[in-house]
Amino acid sequence: MSTQRSYLKILISGPYASGKTTFVKTIASNVLTTEVPVSSSYESQIKRYTTVAFDYGKTSVNGVDVYLFGTPGQTRLQFMWRVLSTGMHGYIFIVDGTSMLHVMRSRAVYDYMKSLGEYPHILAVSKQDLPGSVKPNIVAQLFGVKQENVMPLVAYERSSAYAVLKRIVEIINRG
């Protein structure tokens, strides 16, 4: 049975540096971020800024207002995931597809996300534009998820981000 809502709250989650903030900035308008310079030398080798509370943006899909809440990726900030998940209709979990090591690290973070409750969700395997990136079908097998619920993502490409967002909206509205 299909359930059309006037708005949706969707969480954008995943491990550190997987592309959550980039996804929200690419797809939404009036974006609010809580990025600060990274504090550890290890993290600064990966990127210059990190999200410490959440990212927020609004867009629409097929006439439905979609409110996006991006979680921080650092494990020390995972308490925010529970806070941000309140009232969500579903989530997009972004898997860092740059290497098999990153994919396997993403698995533990995904398991934590699933522990917050049963919600409609999809996996978006990011950085598919990079040579040697792990393909979505491999991630589906490793995570034990149906292939139809795993999509490729290039977070800075609007068409790619929109395809992922449109898919989760369809899944949520399908009920």
31, pLDDT greater than 80: no
For the chain, domain boundaries: 7-174
- State what percent of residues in the chain have pLDDT above 70: 79
Nearest to 124 by CA among 168, 159, 94, 79: 94
Q: Which amino acid belongs to residue 163?
A: A
Tell me the mean pLDDT in the region 153-166.
Answer: 97
pLDDT of residue 6: 83
Q: What is the pLDDT of residues 34-59, one digit of tens each?
A: 555 556 565 555 556 555 456 889 99
pLDDT(166) > 60: yes
CA–CA distance, 14 with 74 (Å, rounded to integer): 9
Residues in Cβ contact with 148 at an 8 Å cutoff, skipping those fewer than 6 apart: none
Q: With a cut of 70, say whether residue 1 has pLDDT above it.
A: no
DSSP letter for 133, please.
P
Among 15-19, 43-47, 80-84, 128-132, the range scoring the smallest mean pLDDT is 43-47
- Section 95-101 average pLDDT: 95
* Region 112-133 average pLDDT: 95
In CATH, what is the architecture of 7-174?
3-Layer(aba) Sandwich (3.40)
Q: What is the pLDDT of residue 17?
A: 80
